[in-house]
Amino acid sequence: MVRENEILRRVAKRDKAAFTELFQSLHRRVYFYALNVVREEYLAEEVTAETFAEVWRCAASFKGDSKPSTWILGIARNIALKQIRASRRHQDDDLESHFELSDEQGSAFVSRLEDIDLVKRALERLSWKHREIIELVFYEELSYEEIGKILNIPVNTVKTRVFYAKKALKATLASMGE
């Protein structure tokens, strides 16, 4: 976190090398988070670009009460939500990945892909709030405090959402298994 803080301080002073370093270290994380929210690659790319443009413009306003990456993900979330509202593209898209399987890849790999696909399909059935909280906790591996800052909600609300999101995911998986 100390390293991120120092880089962001340099960005606030318009250090282009620091901005490049920050972008290189976080752009994939921002992109995949945005993709989870907006559900379309081109929109996720736009959100990522706008996020880093906003970081460049507003780096000096970073208060330091969270990690810079948490602050940046919060910016990405706000921009992504604006994109959704503007484009009305909040309907779920098909996110299936295409894999070419060689003969050497055994049935265990195929079984693993089926499990991953099952979880993806179950996540798609959850409400947006439940999907988002699961993304932040399990994929982004953020603390409840960081999530609270991104979502602008109290930590206890984060805990409650995680509890209900897990419960909903478990119930969805169970119903899909029937």
Percent of the chain with pLDDT over 70: 81
> With bands split at pLDDT 50, 70 and 90, how would you rate the model's confidence at 98?
very low
pLDDT at 114: 58
Q: 1-93 sits in which CATH class?
A: mainly alpha
Cβ atoms of 63 and 34 within 8 Å: the answer is no
Residues of the chain with CATH 1.10.10.10: 94-178
Q: How far apart are CA 177 and CA 21, in angstroms?
A: 45
Residues of the chain with CATH 1.10.1740.10: 1-93
- Average pLDDT estimate for 96-109: 41
> With bands split at pLDDT 50, 70 and 90, how would you rate the model's confidence at 47?
very high
pLDDT at 115: 64
Q: 94-178 sits in which CATH class?
A: mainly alpha
pLDDT at 22: 94
pLDDT at 27 over 80: yes
- Average pLDDT estimate for 62-87: 88
